[in-house]
Structure 1
Amino acid sequence: MTTAVNPNALWAGIVVEQLARCGLEAACIAPGSRSTPLTLAFDRHPAIQVYLHLDERSAAFFALGLAQATGRPVALVCTSGTAAAEFHPAVVEAYQAQIPLLVLTADRPHELRESGANQTIDQVKMYGDHVLWAMDVALPEAAPPAVALRNLRTLAARAYACAAGLRSGPVHLNFPFRKPLEPASPAAFQAVEEQVAALFAQPPGDLTVAHGEIQPTPTQVQRLAEAITGAERGLIVCGPRRAAAAGPDFADAVTALARASGYPILADPASGLRFGPHVADAPLVGAYDALLAAGDVPWPPPQLVLRLGAVPTSAALNAYLERVAAPTVHIRSSGVWADDSHLVHSFLQADPTLTCRRLAAELSPRGLGGWAQGWLAGSRAAGQVLAEAVEQGDFEGAAVAAAIDGLPAGANLFVGNSLPIRHVDRYGLPRLKPLQVFVNRGASGIDGITSTALGVAAAAPDRPTLLITGDISFYHDMNGLLALGQFGLGRFGVVLLNNRGGGIFRRLPVARFEPSFTHLFLTPHDLRFELVAQLYGLAYQQVAPGPAVGTQVSACLAEARPTLIEVPCDSAQDLAMGQAILQRVARVALQVDERQN
């Protein structure tokens, strides 16, 4: 039996040490009193970098971005009460997008719960079904038995492994602490650390919990290869994937399968397939969103659809897949269902990269037939229409395309929800330039976008990061900009598409109902974002939509000075421009079909 110098410090020290041994490298901490044991334990650990945030919501989304970029769990620490509730939006996004987070909330001891004690709420399993696992940790003891201390180590190792599992996501550990929260003196703290070191020197020694890869069986590969061989017309549809998981191996494997099967690829901006060297020989239908939004494509439907990743962003693509209702195979290692149209007839839980490689090796290559060539020709023609429109500038899509052009190879691109991701989907055509694209498409909210992008930037501060966001999203998370100066994130830029309100709502039927629409949905504002830049120490530029946006992006990222590039837009004009572009796309698609036939 161990006699604790300070039970809280011993409990926190054991948990933090075990997490570090499992591979934890970063912790985002919001200041507070009740979380003192965890805060000090993380701060004193040499292997863990601490990111301090004054705002809990910003801290949570920053941790989400760090975890997205690294693919490893990040710890998130706060005090008791509503501080823990501020984490909830990011926890929801982490759960939906399968981002590994370790949410460590401090709590009052059991005798203060349901007692009217200040800053005390019910935190036990407070995130409900939005975490993979939740535990109310045992109250620290002055003389704990050895099994209680081994339990702490096991709990920490299991939490890390669960967060980083095949289905990754957030895990919640709730820590009740009695006062005194910290050791009586620095010497006492040293004694606690010696106790922790002595415990880890005892059996069971290093404790690890790990998982392997799920490989498809030879029979599964053979059956899928037979289905592909029997369906000449097929599509490979790649939805959003975590950027850390969608690396060059994945892109090369999907490209090899496309070549062997003769199936063209429709790749979401966040799929990991839009940008990179593989584009040179991948049969990518880059302009699928415009082609499908312009009307029914004038060629027969697919006989088979292979899906990878989450549900695609493009509403036009999803509507097309629902219309044709082709037999669909979904390959996903997490086993999480992602088929809101209920078209999947075969779901294979296996590693997509391994599966694509083995399928490509199993198939007898047949090349791209006339049907696939029609898709590619239609995409080239539509892409030309989009490129010509972008060259003329003066609308949001042109600003987005120019911003992507201004990025250096290897940069991070974080795309906000609402209109920005849809503009990237339509106007961000495939490029040979490698870019890592990040999104919050789990719950697709507009909260925490800036903080998540800053977390992505912090994972590799020397790599340039650009955020493309809308004005309402930017307003929601201005607090997050404090991290720029705190963590020295110089190579960071923001392209702010300011259409003075909720421009995306113009695309909904409710836009016909004035004056309610403008007041309740469009919500126009006169916010002066140059003052926000001044407050948080960003350089500021206001640039009209068009090539000048790309020039400013290149300059700010090269100079390593955080810059806010505001692009004033007119959402009504942008909607009209987009509709005119689609009319031209529809005409060229018909011309391509006539030439093909």
Structure 2
Amino acid sequence: MIYPKIPLAQTVIQLCEAKGIKHIILSPGSRNAPLTIGFTNNAYFKCYSIVDERCAAFFALGIAQQLQEPTAVVCTSGSALLNYYPAIAEAFYSNIPLVVLSADRPKHLIGVGDGQTINQKNVFENHILYSTNLKLDLKETDGEIEEELPIFKNIENKLENLLGLKQGIQEFNELEINKAINVSVLKQGPVHINIPFDEPLYETVDELYVNPKVIEVDSPFIGIEPSVFDACIESWNASSKKMILVGVNYPNQINEEWLNVLAKDESIVVFTETTSNLHHDSFFPSIDQIIAPLTIEEQQDLQPDILITFGGLIVSKKIKILLRKYKPNQHWHIDKNKANDTFFSLKHHIKSTPNQFFEAFFLKVPNAIKSNYKSTWSSVKAKRIHKHQDYINQIPFSDFVVFNSLLKSIPNNYTLQVSNSSAIRYTQLFSLNNTLKVFCNRGTSGIDGSTSTAIGSAVVNTKPTLLITGDLSFLYDSNALWNNHLPKSFRIIVINNQGGGIFRILPGHKNTENFDTYFETNHNYTAEHLCKMYNFKYECVSNGNELDETLQSFYVKGDQPKLLEVFTPKEVNDEVLLNYFKFIK
């Protein structure tokens, strides 16, 4: 086998393999050549070459999101590393294990005007779980020893000191690499390993010089503090209005047994989102559909005594506003690592998994408490669903009509990736096929990497993947299609309303030159030429009949990925959506 000659590169690669980091996303460069050589010549690793580092990092995030295990990105020194930042921030807030391996110049070449050099040390310090700067391997020529360590200039027995120092550096590097990867595994988030390499960079050997120590992940005991547990039971038994609000949640994470227990209790309403991946006939999806039309009195009636949350961040802005205005008496958040005080009423951070908590908790609480809390809101839900369908039957072709049609068209067992802004908010208003697995980058809610994430997701999925995205999000991340790893089953639907349609829904002066240019950012671009360049089969529609007809064959297997572009009237879309909430009231 071919190995990089540099011991530090050998150490990084061996520890990545030992810790099961199989997927390696590489961007071209010279300083990272020792890592590229090592990863690509080892049959254990699945390597991907992606030129654009921003796309590469989101692509890696999509893989890690699906596999729920660390995925590595590897880049050269300089500004290449900074392009990882959007995906790192998303991984940080979405609890996705991403391992950043950045090559760097030796310390003595930083800050002296050397090319392709920036201050890489701790560059992600505000959005990283762990950051380490490894130490440069030392060489045995006197000049290099003195250059790196001037303190040796007047010391005898330099070779003996050098051997001891080399051993110390090797031990430090092994410890730090182990620690960084273990943190990513244990806490589920991004870590940064900065790796200095000196030239020559491309030399190889046919045997390993080092045998790094592997430090296993030491998982701490997860348990509920008895005092917190007892306090929760006491509050629960005294409350007749309990709300459970589920954020981003990976499919099949919650045992069916606990879903049924929650569904049977008349004192509990369970609000779920598209990204919650939880389904029960008694639950309340489409949160905004339920609460947007509420009167002040109804909002007060919905105010819970206890709010329990688990999962990631919440999409619905309306539920956040409501629960901040009418705060629960207590908010409990269930998560092993962290709890956000989203509603400014956090009482307990229950450091457990939902399954562990519910298993212990429901053994201690009595049968469901008598309450009309759930029945009241079930009645509201039924009325909203009826009015929702009435509204669809009378509105013109628009974004609303498009989402209604395309969400119904998705075949069973697809993975659905949804971009941010309007796309995820429209999706929230509709019931989805329960076999779908739904994902969206809600950590930072940015549009910058939705397509790249979806492609990474598609590459490691055994089931087909569909991305639903807006035109700005798609164009923003169009370099994502510069990817040689796309499966033929991958599908994209672009809703093209010629700009940032969400801004027409928000308060502001619409239909002015200032608004059109700086907010909505009007454009006349389409995806057609990008599809030709990147070998996608391209189709487009601009009315309901064309859409329904095209969707019938869109998911059929073919010899290339497909993209469907749906053109909608921007002057109509916002009025249709705003009138929707008035109508269903």
**TM-score (normalised: structure 1):** 0.87
For 2:564, the aligned partner's letter is: I
Higher mean alpha-carbon deviation, 449-458 vs 555-564, is at 555-564
Q: 2 CA distance for matches of 1:70 and 1:553?
A: 29
Q: 2 CA distance for matches of 1:259 and 1:225?
A: 18
| Contact 1:287 1:383 survives alignment (8 Å) | no
2:421 to 410, 413, 418: 418
SS at 1:164 equivalent = helix
| Contact 2:95 2:189 survives alignment (8 Å) | yes
Q: Within 5 Å, which residues of 2 pair with 1:260-409?
A: 260=265, 262-273=267-278, 278-280=279-281, 283-296=282-295, 299=298, 300=301, 301-366=303-368, 369-390=371-392, 394-409=397-412
Deviation at 1:495, TM superposition (A): 1.2
| Contact 1:260 1:360 survives alignment (8 Å) | no
Q: Cα deviations across residues 203-250 of structure 1 (Å, max 9, x unaligned)?
A: x5x431232562324553343233222111121111223x3xx42435
Q: 2 CA distance for matches of 1:8 and 1:263?
A: 62
| Contact 2:407 2:432 survives alignment (8 Å) | no
Deviation at 1:356, TM superposition (A): 2.3
1:152 to 173, 181, 184: 173
Q: Alignment length, in residue pairs?
A: 555
Residue 512 of structure 2 corresponds to 514
2:31 to 27, 34, 39: 34
Residue 440 of structure 1 corresponds to 441
1:69 aligns with 2:71: no
1:209 aligns with 2:210: no
Deviation at 1:450, TM superposition (A): 0.5
Higher mean alpha-carbon deviation, 407-416 vs 507-516, is at 507-516
| Contact 1:27 1:76 survives alignment (8 Å) | yes
1:189 aligns with 2:190: no
Q: 2 CA distance for matches of 1:138 and 1:252?
A: 51
For 2:523, the aligned partner's letter is: H
Residue 480 of structure 1 corresponds to 480
Q: 1 CA distance for matches of 2:43 and 2:275?
A: 35
Residue 105 of structure 1 corresponds to 102
Q: Cα deviations across residues 309-361 of structure 1 (Å, max 9, x unaligned)?
A: 23421122112212221223232324433234412233222212211232233
Q: Cα deviations across residues 488-524 of structure 1 (Å, max 9, x unaligned)?
A: 4111111111110111111222235833111211111
Deviation at 1:23, TM superposition (A): 1.6
Residue 594 of structure 1 corresponds to none
Residue 469 of structure 1 corresponds to 469
Deviation at 1:95, TM superposition (A): 1.4
Deviation at 1:545, TM superposition (A): 6.0
Deviation at 1:367, TM superposition (A): 6.8
For 1:292, the aligned partner's letter is: I
Q: 2 CA distance for matches of 1:252 and 1:568?
A: 44
Q: 2 CA distance for matches of 1:528 and 1:135?
A: 43
**Cα–Cα, structure 1 residues 70 and 6, in superposed 2: closer, same or farther, change >3 Å?**
closer
| Contact 1:254 1:356 survives alignment (8 Å) | no
2:232 to 224, 245, 266: 224
| Contact 2:397 2:544 survives alignment (8 Å) | yes
SS at 2:280 equivalent = helix
Deviation at 1:102, TM superposition (A): 0.8
Residue 543 of structure 1 corresponds to 541
Q: 1 CA distance for matches of 2:171 and 2:549?
A: 57
| Contact 2:55 2:449 survives alignment (8 Å) | yes
Q: Within 5 Å, which residues of 2 pair with 1:123-138?
A: 123-138=120-135
Q: Within 5 Å, which residues of 2 pair with 1:161-172?
A: 161-166=182-187, 168-172=188-192
Q: Cα deviations across residues 270-305 of structure 1 (Å, max 9, x unaligned)?
A: 1221xxxx525xx21123311211233764232222
For 2:175, the aligned partner's letter is: T
Deviation at 1:99, TM superposition (A): 1.4
Higher mean alpha-carbon deviation, 529-538 vs 398-407, is at 398-407
Q: 1 CA distance for matches of 2:167 and 2:546?
A: 66
| Contact 1:7 1:140 survives alignment (8 Å) | no
For 2:420, the aligned partner's letter is: N
Measured on the aligned residues, the alpha-carbon RMSD in Å equals 2.4
1:56 to 27, 39, 53: 53
**Cα–Cα, structure 1 residues 285 and 509, in superposed 2: closer, same or farther, change >3 Å?**
same
Residue 593 of structure 1 corresponds to none
For 1:478, the aligned partner's letter is: S
| Contact 1:228 1:261 survives alignment (8 Å) | no
SS at 1:339 equivalent = coil
SS at 2:352 equivalent = coil
Residue 154 of structure 2 corresponds to none
| Contact 1:29 1:53 survives alignment (8 Å) | yes
Report the identity percentage: 27
**Cα–Cα, structure 1 residues 238 and 368, in superposed 2: closer, same or farther, change >3 Å?**
farther
Higher mean alpha-carbon deviation, 573-582 vs 112-121, is at 573-582
For 1:148, the aligned partner's letter is: I
Residue 457 of structure 2 corresponds to 456
| Contact 1:329 1:344 survives alignment (8 Å) | yes
Residue 566 of structure 1 corresponds to 565
Higher mean alpha-carbon deviation, 404-413 vs 69-78, is at 404-413
1:90 to 79, 87, 91: 87
Unaligned runs of 5+ in 2: 141-162
Higher helix share: 1
Q: Cα deviations across residues 164-217 of structure 1 (Å, max 9, x unaligned)?
A: 223x2111111111111122xxxx5213x3x34xx25xxx5x431232562324
For 1:269, the aligned partner's letter is: T
For 1:499, the aligned partner's letter is: N
Deviation at 1:391, TM superposition (A): 5.3
Higher mean alpha-carbon deviation, 120-129 vs 446-455, is at 120-129
| Contact 2:9 2:35 survives alignment (8 Å) | yes
Q: Cα deviations across residues 358-377 of structure 1 (Å, max 9, x unaligned)?
A: 22333223277422012122
SS at 1:403 equivalent = helix
Q: Cα deviations across residues 63-106 of structure 1 (Å, max 9, x unaligned)?
A: 11111111111111001111111111111111122211111111
Residue 12 of structure 1 corresponds to 9
**Cα–Cα, structure 1 residues 541 and 101, in superposed 2: closer, same or farther, change >3 Å?**
same
Q: Within 5 Å, which residues of 2 pair with 1:171-182?
A: 171-182=191-202
| Contact 1:395 1:574 survives alignment (8 Å) | yes
